[in-house]
Amino acid sequence: MLYREALGKVIREWRQERKLTLRMVAQDRMAFNYLSEIERGEKELSSELLPTVASGLGVEIHDLIIEAGYRMAEGLVAVPDTAESLFVPDTSSEWYHQYDDLQV
């Protein structure tokens, strides 16, 4: 799955869950038909328009990005619940990244 496809699916699902129209999410800052193409995974969402879409949906930009990433992973990786769960303390109370030993 391409990132643009995953992001488009997230945008469409979240928009529909909130019962918002394309025009409402586009907020007169982008063409609603362009947003429709983004939702279908046909067009890339630029970093300049990402804040518009996030604001129109009432979510944070990082929530869109992270959710699309999770969907691309499709269960292939463990997904942490919080940023803090990426790190665990060692015996000397220092922090280290718990995934450093993974082979990618």
Does residue 87 contact residue 98 with C-beta atoms inside 8 Å?
yes
Query: Model-level pTM?
Result: 0.72
Q: What is the mean pLDDT of residues 29-37?
A: 95
C-alpha of 92 from chain center: 35
Question: In CATH terms, is domain 3-97 a member of 1.10.3720.10?
Answer: no
Lowest mean pLDDT across 5-14, 37-46, 92-101 = 92-101
Mean per-residue pLDDT of the chain = 83
Mutual angle of helices 50-57 and 61-73, in 10-degree steps: 100
Nearest to 40 by CA among 63, 18, 20, 15: 15
Percent of the chain whose pLDDT exceeds 90: 63
CB atoms under 10 Å from CB of 64, counted, come to: 19
Domain residue extents for the chain: 3-97
Residue 29 pLDDT more than 90? Answer: yes
Please write the tens of the pLDDT for every residue from 36-67: 999 999 999 999 999 999 999 999 999 999 99
3-state SS assignment for residue 86: helix
Percent of the chain whose pLDDT exceeds 70: 71
Position with higher pLDDT, 78 vs 31:
31
Dihedral sign of CA atoms 98, 7, 52, 54 in order = negative
